[in-house]
Chains A and B, each alone.
Chain A
Amino acid sequence: QVQLVQSGAEVKKPGASVKVSCKASGYTFTSYGISWVRQAPGQGLEWMGWISAYNGNTNYAQKLQGRVTMTTDTSTSTAYMELRSLRSDDTAVYYCARGNKWQGDYWGQGTLVTVSS
């Protein structure tokens, strides 16, 4: 069965960086892409971007351009999302989701990132 298992919760100080991982299993990793979506406490879903696991092509949300980098490691079927220059309003649960450029089907369990001094 398809599974996306994300790394554990993180606490970071403002200005720091965080790298969240998403390990895929149960399907051919390079046949799909991975989207990243975040959810601030009590708020809705916000799309961050997408990466093709086939060729590494990326598409980032405009508001995060320059602060976010998405990568994949096909040898371990793992996707990564790095967010730099963290601010308090980056505090959120970060989700990975398998899918193509325009939709996600299977989602990870989420990773809480807390940004606090």
Chain B
Amino acid sequence: NFMLTQPHSVSESPGKTVTISCTRSSGSIASNYVQWYQQRPGSSPTTVIYEDNQRPSGVPDRFSGSIDSSSNSASLTISGLKTEDEADYYCQSYDSSNLWVFGGGTKLTVL
């Protein structure tokens, strides 16, 4: 099976843009959709991006997702950072047997 590797933490100032990467260890990142989940402290995860770059209704367009085959990675970009964006972010994909794989999570600090 493959692994998804995320940076342990990132930080940026309010109003700026941050990008969180998610690198797939084997197999093509484009083979299976990537989802991104936000988890604020003490709360359940919520979906911010599904199917690589789709935003659920209610998620602001400050959140965007993309994949890059050259680096075999997916990215979550958050622009116009707000303090409320401070959370853990997890990427998730699946293999050919529909077994899910999560990245280790990235702690976003907005300071």
Give A contacts to B, CB under 8 Å: 35, 37, 44-47, 50, 59, 61-62, 95, 97, 101-110
Given contact pairs A102-B32, A104-B47, A110-B44, A59 touches B102 in the complex (Cβ within 8 A): no
Q: Which residue of B lies closest to A62 (CB)?
A: B99
| Total number of B residues with any Cβ neighbor in A under 8 Å | 25
Which residues of chain B (89-111) have a CB below 8 Å from chain A?
Answer: 90, 92-94, 97-105
Which of chain A's residues have a CB closer than 8 A to the CB of B47? 103-107
Determine if B90 and A44 form an interchain contact, defined as CB atoms under 8 angstroms apart: yes
Q: Which of B46, B90, B98, B102 contacts A101 (CB 8 A)?
A: B98
Q: Does B37 contact A (CB under 8 A)?
A: yes
Measured CA separation A50–B47 after assembly (Å)? 17
A81 CA to B44 CA, complexed, in Å: 18
Which residues of chain B come closer than 8 Å to A95, judged between CB atoms?
A: 44-45
Min CB–CB distance A101 → chain B (angstroms): 4
B92, B99, B104: the one contacting A61 at CB < 8 Å is B99
